[in-house]
Amino acid sequence: MARRLFWSLFLVLGGLFFPARAEASLLEKAEALLRAGSYEEAALAYEAYLAQDYGRLEAHLGLGVALAKAGRLEEARFALDQMTRLFPERYEGFYNLGQVLLLLGKPKEAAEALGRAVELRPTEEAHLALAQALAQAGDAKGAAEALRKGLTPERSPAYRLALAQALYAAGARAEAVPLLYALLNQKPQVAEAWDLLARILTEEGLKGRALRELDRGLAQVEGPGRAKLLLRKALLSPNPEPLLKEAYALDPGLWTAAYLLGRSRLEAKDPKGALPYLLSAYRAAPEPEVALALAGAYWALGDYKNAYRYAGEAGPPGRLLQAQAAHRLGRKEEALSLLEGLSAPEALGLRGALLLELGRAEEALAPLGQAYQASPSPEVGVSLGAALIALRRYGEAEVVLREVLLKAPRLAAAWYNLGLALKALDRQGEAERALRQAALLGSLEARALLGR
């Protein structure tokens, strides 16, 4: 009776008249379109209905859902916000508004809406959504507390697992353990619970117990869940490769297993064997560490174009390798640009070598000197010696190059540059001996200088 009175007043104020059956037909049409997945058309039908009767709860809810399903999230937020204002006692408005705010990347606002939904009706879904919003807002302790408050005997295993995970994220590992054991006694097929239990036990220094619990879990769990437990066991094993291969065979979508297999092949100096695993991992999850490993495999195989590509995909951790690949591809200025701001000895050494190749010996000297002092590799020493020679500092070049040859006596470039320094110092006999040694080791420049 109250709704009819409200509707009558609305019609009078609006100066409009619609037969009651027409109203019902329009709402039914909107609901049918929503059920059929025609979200844009459903939204238009709900809007048309609300233009006649702005006080209908089902129309506000339907409009919000249709707009959200159509990807029009800001419009959905407005529609559902309107619903919460008109019907502040209804759970559905606040719950759905919270979900839309989460999709919009506004977890703090979502937590406010979902907190109100929990107050109105403390359902499992509302508590889980509230915890998700708080976690996304960076409040791990608040997320755990929201789930703890909502824990009742009838909560599902999924809820109990979510609470254990939230406690772990909040740093309350010890509190999570009893929940996990209770859950696993009730439902031992939950792979995520075994996995989290093993992780906590490992972090508590109980590696042996963690392995035993994983074996218990492996006796209970099948399919992709089993692959997850094999992966966890591999992380604790001194011989992980067989476990990783079994996990990957069970679940090819388990990218971490594929990534670790690829990385182990790389460490075994088998980039060709690493490539299929790393490509599979990258297709499933193009994470920076996977891209970097993939770039490393291509680099080892001499495919500098792909090494450059995937090093770029790795973001900041891949900049040095991308610069190295750019250098090999002949893109020296780009390589220099990529090295800007990098201070690792390897980056400084490459920067100095590039400047030297570009004829900028004076600029090259500082980064080469810093690199050689931090990590006196023979290759950097040769470049430093060459820069000193280019700047006519022959005595200093001789000192550096003789130091290099003590570590790498078969480095042709070091003998060649030493020959140049000695020749400039007018020590012709020593210079010729150095150049002959360089030529014997394969230096074409030395052979040309000696007239051979």
Task: Give the mean pLDDT of 75-83.
Answer: 97
One domain for residues 269 and 286: yes
Query: What is the pLDDT of the chain when averaged over all its residues?
Result: 92
One domain for residues 262 and 328: yes
Q: Which residues contact 331 (CB under 8 A, 6 or more apart)?
A: none
DSSP letters for 260-278: HHHHHHHHTT-HHHHHHHH
N- to C-terminal Cα distance for the chain?
Answer: 111
Q: Does residue 189 fall inside a structural domain? A: yes
Q: Express each pLDDT in 289-315 by its tens digit.
A: 999 999 999 999 999 999 999 999 999
Task: Give the mean pLDDT of 89-110.
Answer: 96
One domain for residues 268 and 206: no
Last residue of a domain, one of 324, 342, 360: 342
Answer whether residue 190 shows pLDDT above 50.
Answer: yes
| Backbone torsion region of residue 15, taken as left when φ is above 0, otherwise alpha when ψ lies between -120 and 50, otherwise beta | left
Q: Does residue 2 fall inside a structural domain? A: no
Q: Express each pLDDT in 319-351 by its tens digit.
A: 999 999 999 999 999 999 999 999 999 999 999
Q: Does residue 162 fall inside a structural domain? A: yes
Indicate the pTM of the whole model: 0.75
pLDDT at 303: 97
**Side chain identity at residue 220, one-letter code:** Q
Q: Does residue 392 fall inside a structural domain? A: yes
CB 90 within 8 A of CB 59: no
Q: Which tokens go with 241?
A: 């490769």
One domain for residues 270 and 354: no
Last residue of a domain, one of 215, 240, 265: 240
Q: Does residue 74 fall inside a structural domain? A: no
CB atoms within 10 A of CB 125: 13
Answer whether residue 77 shows pLDDT above 70.
Answer: yes
One domain for residues 370 and 451: yes
Q: Which band of pLDDT confidence, cut at 50, 70 and 90, is reported for residue 25?
A: confident
Q: Does residue 410 fall inside a structural domain? A: yes
Q: Does residue 143 fall inside a structural domain? A: no
Domain range holding 232? 156-240
Q: Express each pLDDT in 203-255 by its tens digit.
A: 999 999 999 999 999 999 998 899 999 999 999 999 999 999 999 999 998 99
Q: Does residue 199 fall inside a structural domain? A: yes
Answer whether residue 452 shows pLDDT above 70.
Answer: no
Q: Which CATH number characterizes residue 302's domain?
A: 1.25.40.10
The count of structural domains within the chain is 3
pLDDT at 118: 97
- Residue entry with tokens 């339907």: 62
3-state percent helix, strand, coil for the chain, nearest multiple of 5? 80, 0, 20
d(CA 7, CA 4): 5
Last residue of a domain, one of 298, 317, 342: 342
Q: Which residues contact 10 (CB under 8 A, 6 or more apart)?
A: 53, 54, 55
One domain for residues 385 and 334: no
d(CA 24, CA 42): 15
